[in-house]
Amino acid sequence: MDLIKITRALADDLHALRRPAGVSHVYNPLRYMWPAHERFLSRHYIMTGRLLDGDGNDDGEEYQGVATRRYLILGMNPGPHGMVQTGLPFGDVVNAAAMLGYRTGDQVPAPDLAGVELHPSRPVIGLSATRREASGERLWGGLAAIFGGLEQTLAACFAANYCPLAYFADDPQGTNVTPEDFGKKTIKGEPNPRHDPGYAAELDKVCLPYLVRVARAMRVEVILAVGRYAEAKANIIAALCPEATQQCPSPKVVYLTHPSPLATRSAEEWAAMARGALEAAGALPSDASEVGP
């Protein structure tokens, strides 16, 4: 499987979707921050080697494949101060910089915003953004505490959002609209102007096959579902890739509370909750570190 090729195709397919109800602006960071996302995939999830002939000798040709990963971290969609800026899932700018590994003097890609209609209250600054994204900061920091570091986390986990698009409403603040909104008929007892089940189905047709293909190719054994929307989608993905590994006929889905400050009191509390969820599911890495609030 060519991970770069199918991810670029995913970005293009998402770009071709219509605009959903109640949304004025749709951001596709896989396109305008593609160089950063491609570097993320290439540095951590692409493996290269040399082909051997029938006698086991090097035949001089190189091959490129996708690395295996035990865990798939699955989120819902990009946050305004995370992936919207950096192009990386849960892309808090500090952790994104570490994952991309740019050195002093390297040319860091700027967002390619040609043809992108931005909401006045939702600018895209790119990797030079200074505002940290709390959910991404907590997620990568908490998992690093469990797995023993950021590099160890990336060596064990592939991260993705089910929907790589961000949505904003046509109001002065550019209200953040999430994909789960499209399935709700009412919100707080009132008709939901963003109810658009047809669009939700179109989104599934684009996003679901990509993630199933990745989970199969990477032989994912555990899907870490960040939030209830991601959990629902993770259960579908798991059911569609029963041949992921011989040891684990169908990936195990582990629900993780969303790391938003609205859901947990501190980064340390979220890390402890995540470790507890993994341990309860029998999915904790054998060399996991102790963490606590």
How do residues 144-165 score in pLDDT, each as one tens digit? 999 999 999 999 999 999 999 9
DSSP reduced 3-state for 177: strand
pTM of the model as a whole: 0.92
pLDDT, mean of residues 273-277: 96
Q: What pLDDT is attached to residue 280? A: 96
Q: What is the mean pLDDT of residues 66-86?
A: 97
Determine phi and psi for 23, rounding to 5 degrees.
Answer: -125, 135
Range of weakest confidence among 31-35, 200-204, 245-249, 284-288? 245-249
Q: Is the pLDDT of residue 63 over 90?
A: no
Read off the amino acid at residue 107: Q
Q: Which of 13, 86, 89, 111 is nearest to 45 (CA)?
A: 89
pLDDT by residue (tens digit) across 205-239? Answer: 999 999 999 999 999 999 999 999 999 999 999 99
What distance in Å separates the CA atoms of residue 202 and residue 274, rounded to the nearest whole number? 32
Mean pLDDT of the chain: 92
* Band (292; pLDDT cuts 50, 70, 90): low
Q: Of 4-13, 42-51, 116-125, where does mean pLDDT reach its minimum?
A: 42-51
pLDDT digits (tens, 9 = 90+) for 92-133: 999 999 999 988 778 899 999 999 999 999 999 999 999 999
pLDDT at 106: 83
What local confidence, expressed as pLDDT, does residue 56 receive?
59
Tokens of 50: 């040399």
Mean pLDDT of 267-277: 95
Class of residue 264 by CB neighbours under 10 A (exposed 0-12, middle 13-18, buried 19+): buried
In this prediction, residue 247 has a pLDDT band, given cuts at 50, 70 and 90, of low
Question: What is the structure's pLDDT at 85?
Answer: 97
DSSP single-letter state for residue 251: P
Q: Please indicate whether residue 240 or residue 246 has the higher confidence score (pLDDT).
A: 240
Q: Is the pLDDT of residue 52 over 60?
A: no
